[in-house]
Amino acid sequence: MSTKLSATQIAWRAAQEISDGAYVNLGIGLPEMVARFQPPGRQAIFHTENGILGFGEAPPAGEEDWDLINAGKKAVTLLPGTAFFHHADSFAMVRGGHLDMAILGAFEVAENGDLANWSTGPKGVPAVGGALDLVHGAKQVVVITEHTTKDNKPKLVKRCSLPLTGVGCVTRVYTSLAVVDIQGGRFVLREKLAAMSLDELQSVTGAELVVNGRVADLVVPEL
């Protein structure tokens, strides 16, 4: 195994926690990949905020129906049992506590559960989409992300410096190096790569990693 998980492997790891029949919203980009790695025998029902529950994979090129897209504006397909609804009902599912899990990307996650994932600063055109809504209401709000930025700065931090998406909203983080719960305003380490010492992991993390109980090895298949 290499020194860190690939994006695909992070998505695989997060997918293992989705239970059969769970209602799950996957954010645009890396989180969308989670759908590919549902364990055998488990079938989540995916929600997209533009008004579909229970959609399937992308159709073959040339067979797209552009009235049937996901939140990333990509064509999807119908599954038996798909439901359509308007945008107000869609976000009622989100804020009303009806989703079991929302899986989102991140620029920064803080130990108090704050998330920054929509803006890297004041330049350019601001755009939020559904991110600010999606962090509220789901029973679990899960982040999947590289452990550090491209220039090796921690993405798990004491306090977010970028514009916030939500306050105290994240419950778990899957990174390229570790699995971390957010409990009582602290990062609690659950899994780490076996080849990495706790000190090494702490040195690329911007806030204290609390060890509270067993820390398991983070094991994923080659993908």
Partner 1 sequence: MNKTLPTLAEAVAGIADGAVVMIGGFGGSGAPIELVHALIDRFLKTGQPKNLTIVNNNAGNGHVGLAAMIEHGMVAKLICSFPRSADPRVFTERYLAGQIELELVPQGTLAERIRAGGAGIPAFYTPAGFGTALAEGKPVEEFDGRSYVRERWLKADFALVKAHLGDTLGNLTFNKAARNFNPLMCMAATTTIVQVSQIVKPGAIDPEHVVTPGIFVQAVVEVANPAQEEDLNRANAHFPEVAA
Residues that bind partner 1 (CB under 8 A): 48-52, 64-69, 73, 78, 84-88, 90-91, 94-95, 114, 124-134, 136-137, 163-167
Q: Is 8 or 183 the residue whose CB approaches partner 1 more closely?
A: 183
- In SS3 terms, the chain reads as CCCCCCHHHHHHHHHCCCCCCCEEEECCCHHHHHHHHCCCCCCCEEEECCCEEEEECCCCCCCCCCCCECCCCCECEEEEEEEECCHHHHHHHHHCCCCCEEEECCCEEECCCCEECCCCCCCCCCCCCCHHHHCCCCCEEEEEECCECCCCCECEECCCCCCCCECCCCCEEEECCEEEEEECCEEEEEEECCCCCHHHHHHCCECCEECCCCCEECCCCCC
Q: Is 132 or 220 the residue whose CB approaches partner 1 more closely?
A: 132
Phi-psi region of 173 (alpha: psi -120 to 50; beta: other; left: phi over 0): beta
Q: Is 91 or 154 the residue whose CB approaches partner 1 more closely?
A: 91
Q: How far is the CB of 72 from partner 1 (least distance, A)?
A: 9
Q: How far is the CB of 130 from partner 1 (least distance, A)?
A: 4
Q: How far is the CB of 6 from partner 1 (least distance, A)?
A: 26
Q: Is 42 or 86 the residue whose CB approaches partner 1 more closely?
A: 86
**Residue 108: active-site member:** no
Q: Is 90 or 175 the residue whose CB approaches partner 1 more closely?
A: 90
Q: How far is the CB of 158 from partner 1 (least distance, A)?
A: 16
Residues 6+ apart with CB under 8 A from 38: 15, 18, 44
Q: How far is the CB of 27 from partner 1 (least distance, A)?
A: 12
* Active-site hit among 32, 49, 108, 111: 49
End-to-end CA distance of the chain: 11
Annotated active-site positions, please? Answer: 49
